Amino acid sequence: MPTHNRILYWFRNDLRLHDNAGFAAACEDATQVLPVYVFDPRQFRELAAIGVKKTGIFRTNFLIECVADLRASLRARGADLIIRVGEPSQILADLAETIDAQAIYASKEVTSEETDVESALSKRLKPLNIDIEFFWTSTLYHVRDLPFGVAKLPDIFTQFRNRVEKYAPVRELVPTPDALQLPDDVDSGDMPTLSTFGFDNALKSDVRAAVPFKGGETAAVARLERYLWEKDLIRTYKDTRNGMLGEDYSSKFSAWLAHGCLSPRFVFHEVKRYEQERIANDSTYWLIFELIWRDFFRFVALKFGTRLFKPSGIKHDLQKHWRRDFDLFQRWAEGETGIPFIDANMRELNHTGFMSNRGRQNVGSFLVKDLGIDWTWGAAYFESLLVDYDPCSNWGNWNYVAGVGNDPREDRYFNILTQASRYDERGDYVKHWLPELANVPADKIQVVSTLTRQQQTDYDVALGEDYPMPIVNPAKWMKK
Ligand SMILES: Cc1cc2nc3c(=O)[nH]c(=O)nc-3n(C[C@H](O)[C@H](O)[C@H](O)COP(=O)(O)OP(=O)(O)OC[C@H]3O[C@@H](n4cnc5c(N)ncnc54)[C@H](O)[C@@H]3O)c2cc1C
């Protein structure tokens, strides 16, 4: 029996109808539900320190597709998605008052910009006597099911994993609401376009991209279907996950998980079903293992608050000093370092909004350990470019890469040459993104700066012209 006449449901990074505890509760508790999404222009502002937009074109495009897909799904159920552009707390409070809602329901976020919006909204709703309720929708393990308080979250990932695996259940899926009733006489609002957020040109897709990311729950579920059931790729995930080329080496679920188009519990239960119907092995387990990493970073963010975003990091390390050399940073960002393995990865990011996990570890280590540049610049650049950007996973991983995380065992230095020869032995990945090196043989491709003049002529590349001289002498990695 509904307890409310009208509830406004505020969609945030939970852009799905399946396994959405907040939206399902709103549909159960109210006779009429008004689903709303608000694009916040502050998320599209310029980041002055590094000269890029906070949300770049890839993620903006993906987000618009996610919202459009959600609207289409709601319309197919006889409802709609109300769309607005502006400051969320103001817009939501006004809308809730206009429709005479008794409450606003929404998913709970944990990082500061998001919780600031929650507080601002809560303040506006108080004098209007409208309730606000938040629901936990983003992790595999529900925060209430953790076998410890968040303040006692283990610092070491393995300890966290062992304890949740042993003591915390993964909840069943929340059923998708089917019958929806919308309050009428609310203008549904137009979908914004890229130009709404200051992008002059349409997004150019690159045929070399690992996977064509299409935003929305429909594409998310289709990707899962393909990865698990049609192509059986999860069967070998543990062996392939360090790959860098193509769509098959890893799940590519991240962008949909980050926007909430895919519920991690849905992935979990599908993997369990796969294990029953096909095979259970190290690989099927490993995909769940990675989802537990994702959970870990969300709980780390909850525990450490704004420390996650500061140069001194979660560890509050005030001893480390970071360089703010913008020219050097730009060489890294543009994939112009003269180190092929680094440049190929950065160019993939710049052309597609995606980079493999192996690539992220390497370009991150190179920026902070070899160039000594402020890691928060790297994290902010990733925030702008990544289609799968998630504040907890991005800033959490960067904390670890920079050695300011909470697990001392994660402060690793990557020897770029060793990594390149291990994960791109024949140079196929480098050649995919750096066509100017197409004729360089496999044994020279990762160290092109050592090519003699004659070799440059033979392999059709002029160093310093077609491809830059290195900003770090690769000899340092040969001695090690
Ligand atoms: C410096 C750095 C920044 C990163 N920034 C992000 C980010 O903003 N958003 C993001 O989703 N991931 C981030 N990652 C983690 C990881 O690189 C991506 O999740 C992964 O490459 C996405 O590809 P996939 O979906 O095919 O992953 P798969 O290998 O198929 O893994 C399955 C899922 O597990 C989760 N996962 C895997 N590895 C990690 C990890 N190390 N940390 C957290 N979750 C993980 C992701 O949700 C992923 O979709 C970052 C890693 C590094 C080193």
Per-residue pLDDT reduced to its tens digit, 23-79 = 999 999 999 999 999 999 999 999 999 999 999 999 999 999 999 999 999 999 999
Query: H-helix or E-strand containing 247?
Result: none
The position carrying tokens 């050695």 is: 403
Mutation to probe ligand 1, out of 245, 253, 356, 397 (largest number of atoms < 8 A from CB): 397
What per-residue confidence (pLDDT) applies to 407?
76
pLDDT tens digit sequence for 429-447: 999 999 999 999 999 999 9
What distance in angstroms lies between residue 390's CA and the mean position of ligand 1's atoms?
A: 9
| 296 carries a ligand binding annotation | yes
Integer Cα distance of 304 and 175 in angstroms: 33
Atom of ligand 1 nearest to the CA of 378: 1
User: What percent of the chain stands above pLDDT 90?
Assistant: 93
Residue 179, burial from CB neighbour count under 10 angstroms (0-12, 13-18, 19+): exposed
312-333 pLDDT tens trace: 999 999 998 999 999 999 999 9
Quote the distance between the C-alpha of residue 353 and its chain's center. 10
Model pLDDT, residue 201: 84
pLDDT of residue 163: 98
Q: Whose CA is nearest to atom 50 of ligand 1?
A: 394
Residue 390 is assigned to a ligand binding site: yes
Cα–Cα dist 200/249, whole Å: 34
Q: Where are the alpha helices (DSSP H) in 391-448?
A: 391-401, 416-423, 428-433
Token pair listed for 161: 């994993």
The pLDDT tens digits of the residues spanning 172-205 come to 999 999 878 888 889 999 999 999 999 988 898 8
Facing residues of 405 across strands? none
Q: Is 233 annotated as a binding residue?
A: no
Residue 237 assigned as binding residue: yes
Residue nearest to atom 31 of ligand 1 (CA): 290
Ligand 1 centroid from CA 33, angstroms: 34
When the pLDDT of each residue in the chain is averaged and rounded to a whole number, the result is: 96
* pLDDT value of residue 181: 84
The answer to whether 437 touches 467, Cβ cutoff 8 Å, is: yes
CB contact at 8 A, 399 and 405: yes
Which residue, by CA, sits nearest to atom 26 of ligand 1? Answer: 252
Centre of ligand 1 from the C-alpha of residue 85, in Å: 29
262-315 pLDDT per residue, tens? 999 999 999 999 999 999 999 999 999 999 999 999 999 999 999 999 999 999
Does 354 score more than 60 pLDDT? yes
Given a cut of 70, whether residue 164 has pLDDT beyond it is: yes
pLDDT of residue 410: 65
Is 148 known to sit in a ligand binding site? Answer: no
Q: Whose CA is nearest to atom 36 of ligand 1?
A: 290
Please tell me the distance between residue 324's alpha carbon and the centre of ligand 1 in angstroms.
27
Residues framing ligand 1 (Cβ under 6 A): 241, 250-254, 257-258, 287, 290-291, 293-294, 297, 356-357, 360-361, 364, 382, 386, 388-390, 393-394, 397-398, 401
Report the alpha-carbon distance of residue 330 to residue 377 in Å, rounded.
10
Q: Determine if residue 253 is labeled as part of a ligand binding site.
A: yes
Q: Does the annotation place 199 within a ligand binding site?
A: no
Question: Looking at the predicted structure, is the pLDDT value of residue 479 above 90?
Answer: no
User: How many other β-carbons are positioned within 10 Å of the β-carbon of residue 24?
Assistant: 21
Ligand 1 atom with least separation from CA of 254: 49
- Give, in degrees to the nearest 5, the angle at Cα 97 between 93 and 103: 75
